[in-house]
Structure 1
């Protein structure tokens, strides 16, 4: 997918564990882990808002658009 997540980078910068952030924003460790690894098709604005509030960041610090990512994942040129 052309949208990639940098949630792990922001969590490391803020020295926050997956469990700690999941507890703070009220979602399961599993769902946050899936979001962190980019294995979700979407994220609710409410969840994104909570993450940004807890990590003191902007959505663009967490989500990044990388044109051409879809072709690379599919093995294209």
Structure 2
């Protein structure tokens, strides 16, 4: 059974290894588990990190949030 919530979030960072070092320590403290080299998980929520070569007009940070609906009809309604 699906639960409503956030399925996954993608963050763009300027230096991947530096960010992973920081977030690995943080997520260990708050009991998130490493999912793969660039991602972490708690329950059904995942966070992924991607290094981005940004231009002057771009920013780093959250690129997208994938919400999880309990039924397709809710997605259609949105």
TM-score normalised over the length of structure 2: 0.30
Larger helix percent: 1
Larger strand percent: 2
TM-score normalised over the length of structure 1: 0.30
